[in-house]
Copies of this chain bind each other. A is one copy, B any other.
Amino acid sequence: MKFRLYHYWRSSSSWRVRWALAFKEIPCEFVPINLLSDETESPAHLARNPMGYVPVLEFLEQKTPYPFLCESVAILEWLEEVYPQPSLLPGDPFQKAKIRQLAETINSGTQPLQNLNAVQLHSSDPEEQKKWHQTWIKKGLHAYETLAQQTAGKFSVGDTLTMADLFLIPQCYNAKRQEVSLESFPTIQRIHENALKMESCRVSAPEAFQP
């Protein structure tokens, strides 16, 4: 085994990486970090990721004092570069840019505002927390829908799975948890249905890792 992934079953950023590993058929050992406990602030985890977040990929055969790689985008781009087939970034540079544009609509435009830390600092009132979640999810998915209408086939860009879908589908899972319906997003709904049929999606989904 070359890799160990520190992750949390319901973390959308963790799902992105689990999915890429499954899609590229890269063996990996999974170690859960409970985001609801103080495990994230333990010295052992902060040594892996000073932000205290997941996912973190550990390189078990790497002879370096720092064999950890944090941040899902950095991990996914590395996996794509070193294990290019099957590709999650197909096409010419302009198409790759459109894939990354969609991924970023979730990665920097939507998900960070749903981080547990941020939601809890915003308010301790569960109703106010839900309103906050819903505001950012709706804004993000509305933008994604508009952009994806320009590029989507069966998936976000064309008819094959790309990195963009790995950001979208876990965000849809969060939308459901926060009671945001996908009904007003027909393109996203179609992509969502097609993605859930894929084995690499199902074996990497939160349900498959629920404790």
List residues of chain A with CB under 8 Å of any chain B CB.
49-51, 53, 59, 62, 65-66, 69-75, 77-78, 81-82, 93-94, 96-98, 100-101, 103-105, 107-109, 111-113, 118, 121-122, 132, 135-136, 139-140, 142-143, 146-147, 150
- A132 — which chain B residues lie within 8 A by C-beta? 121
Beta-carbon contact of A78 and B62 below 8 Å: no
Nearest first, the 8 closest Cβ-Cβ pairs linking A and B are A71-B104, A74-B100, A112-B112, A50-B146, A50-B143, A78-B97, A74-B101, A51-B143
- Set B109, B122, B143: member contacting A122, Cβ < 8 A: B122
Beta-carbon contact of B50 and A77 below 8 Å: no
Q: Given contacts A51-B143, A73-B108, A104-B71, are A96 and B122 in contact (CB under 8 A)?
A: no
Beta-carbon contact of B121 and A112 below 8 Å: no
Beta-carbon contact of A100 and B71 below 8 Å: yes
Beta-carbon contact of A108 and B71 below 8 Å: yes
Copies of this chain in its oligomeric complex: 2
By CB atoms of chain B within 10 A, which of A97, A104, A109, A122 has the most? A97
- A147 — which chain B residues lie within 8 A by C-beta? 50, 70
Beta-carbon contact of B112 and A70 below 8 Å: no
**Smallest beta-carbon distance A97→chain B, Å:** 4
A2 vs B75: C-alpha distance in the bound complex, in angstroms? 32
A151 nearest in chain B by CB position: B66
A100 nearest in chain B by CB position: B74
A142 vs B66: C-alpha distance in the bound complex, in angstroms? 17
- A111 — which chain B residues lie within 8 A by C-beta? 108
- A113 — which chain B residues lie within 8 A by C-beta? 112-113, 118
